Structure 1
């Protein structure tokens, strides 16, 4: 097991697309997958019936939160008794599962992933066919082609493809895996510098960049942005883990009657989640702002346009945008969203003078259906170059890198 790789959390993983027969099995009273010999690579050869505690999730792009349920899966060889009693030399492995809200949402073509966790349990994920989250899970585990009927199995999860980085960390957390990432060598310095609490996002972004002094924003903006985001994420998680542990050790208002302040605990938990969600987007904007400034790109951040809209970035600026004599072909707008889902459509309503919108995201492997709709709506997707490989070959010909986007804006500004 290597830290920082998928092997830190999984012993092996198997994936397939649900066939018509398998979808029928899910809805019938059988609840057994047959023809699952490939699972022996991660579940072994059972001696009798082996039961696994399983966490099930159903994921789609339309729902912010997955459908989740716990269940027990049973792994066994249906021919074991016949071999013992009658010397019938046959093996027939089956995986039994109960009816759950997750299984009831499954349909033909959905992605099924069964992962053996390091704690001995199973993580079972079903992702809607054609969804971005299904594409992202395939990319995460390195499954390129699931057209054949059987399970594709990976028992080796320590290749370079399996290294956990910024994009893969977010996918793992979307399927319920809490990724541990820390850089404890900076903890004491952060506690002293920030007084034992979280600073503003802008100050924290500046600090994260300062720990990577050998990076210049003029060298390779795509590489630099990802390095800054990765470092800030790790430093944030390091500080967050310490501060949360400190708060938990203080307790939540247990009084003489031994009553715990449940509302106080829930409020604290909610504040942790909200801070995580808002911070990533703001950090991304902070780092982009410095990239633009250092690469001689004129911009305005959150400048108002029509109907109180405020695009994340407007090029070259607010004055030019509101000048009727300024040719709109020289204007550019950029929306910034660390992850898209359906929120990318919000960008379409910003900056009416600009026909083609640009959206920068750090989301990997968005589905072809989604990017096709973006193209039809004249929305150009911009991503750091490293994330382009998570998309299909056809999608990659259309994507823009950060370097390409800045070159386009500079060209318009020169004109």
Structure 2
């Protein structure tokens, strides 16, 4: 955590009464064509500023001082619009020259932390590394972004799900299982607890993959708490020992998050009976995450290259999307599945210029500029595209 902004934002959240995070979207910057200025805030964000939820039929607001990046302050307004057809929260009034509502900020992570009744600190994280570092430091899943940041581990899942998690943990003979064991058991616990069938997954894979990712994250937090609760009660003998334990925890969190997405995507592809290979070797020892239908077909010069598909999986991709450009030279269009919510118009134009085609969970589509939504595939539409090529 060498980046000073990253350190500062983590400390700010930890010292706050309550904090909130969200990806900056096209709706915020005006890229969707709307004229409303300022950050659109999730309906569940009201406790950040108000004592009670906004009521339909009335507007209400609150003026606060916000210090940005530990640098400059704005006198801003949090407002609930409840009159007419409107039912939304906005954070507005930042003054001229405010730097974080530009098109290039789409996809950045906004974090707001309440330090007192009238004073808040806010930070905008730009890079994938900073965003991943923030999520790891505070143990937040990507599915928990766009809401109040949990202050502690909260078991909010159904009792049956928690019981399944604990039963799995009790059978372990190692401190931490492999990422695929973690993903598989979290998914099984979720599917069994909520009676999720293969037919249901085929009906709405976009919804279920997000539920799986969230369930795995809950399992991981439960396991982590189980493994470290006793250790952190004992004093550390040196700063070095403290740093070593902290780094082990952070690195494991990052590693699990990266692999989690691949494991759950593979399960979706299995349920749809798609032919694919993972980590197949292409040119220059490159190993794309998913190659459809097989590396054998890829290496066969007689196989129709228009029916070859490559897919990369990256939880965030603001910086990392270029890594997919040379993963399979024979395939012109590269598909990239991401949990990133919102990417700037300029960056999307560059992606499509280089034939990188985004795939995102359907609920995240609205966070992208309107003019790109028809080009972006959902998981459901991607699966159907692959299946059409394979029949």
TM score, norm. by length of structure 1: 0.62
SS of 1:41's partner is strand
Instruction: Select 2:213's aligned residue among 229, 243, 260.
Output: 229
Q: Does 1:9 align with 2:18?
A: yes
SS of 2:121's partner is strand
Taking the aligned partners of 2:60 and 2:297, their CA distance within structure 1 comes to: 61
Q: Give runs of aligned pairs for residues 177-216 of structure 1, distance below 5 A.
A: 180-182=153-155, 183=157, 185-186=162-163, 188-195=166-173, 197-211=175-189, 212-213=191-192, 214-215=195-196, 216=198
Q: Does 1:41 align with 2:38?
A: no
CA contact (8 A) 1:316 1:413 kept: yes
SS of 2:291's partner is strand
Note the aligned Cα RMSD (angstroms).
Answer: 3.8
Q: Does 1:117 align with 2:114?
A: yes
> Which residue matches 1:152?
none
> Which residue matches 2:37?
none
Unaligned runs of 5+ in 2: 1-16, 30-58, 76-95, 103-109, 132-139
Q: Give the drift of 1:317.
A: 0.6
Q: Give runs of aligned pairs for residues 217-366 of structure 1, distance below 5 A.
A: 217-252=201-236, 260-366=237-343
Q: Does 1:169 align with 2:169?
A: no
Q: Does 1:370 align with 2:360?
A: no
> Which residue matches 2:88?
none
CA contact (8 A) 2:202 2:272 kept: yes
- From the CA coordinates, give the structure whose radius of gyration is larger: 1
Of 264-273 and 353-362, more deviation after overlay is shown by 264-273
CA deviations over 1:249-276 (Å, ceiling 9, x no partner): 2333xxxxxxx32112111111111111
SS of 1:296's partner is coil
Aligned residues: 295
Taking the aligned partners of 2:206 and 2:349, their CA distance within structure 1 comes to: 24
CA contact (8 A) 1:339 1:361 kept: yes
When residues 115 and 329 of structure 1 are mapped into structure 2, their CA distance, relative to the original with a 3 A threshold, is closer
Instruction: Select 1:394's aligned residue among 371, 380, 391.
Output: 371
Q: Give the drift of 1:388.
A: 0.8
Q: Give the drift of 1:370.
A: 1.5
Taking the aligned partners of 1:120 and 1:195, their CA distance within structure 2 comes to: 48
CA contact (8 A) 2:20 2:111 kept: no
- Ranked by relative contact order (alpha carbons within 8 Å, sequence separation 6 or more), the top structure is 2
SS of 2:283's partner is coil
Q: Give the drift of 1:199.
A: 1.1
Taking the aligned partners of 1:344 and 1:316, their CA distance within structure 2 comes to: 22
When residues 40 and 362 of structure 1 are mapped into structure 2, their CA distance, relative to the original with a 3 A threshold, is closer
Taking the aligned partners of 1:168 and 1:304, their CA distance within structure 2 comes to: 31
SS of 2:225's partner is helix
CA contact (8 A) 1:218 1:294 kept: yes
Taking the aligned partners of 2:321 and 2:219, their CA distance within structure 1 comes to: 28
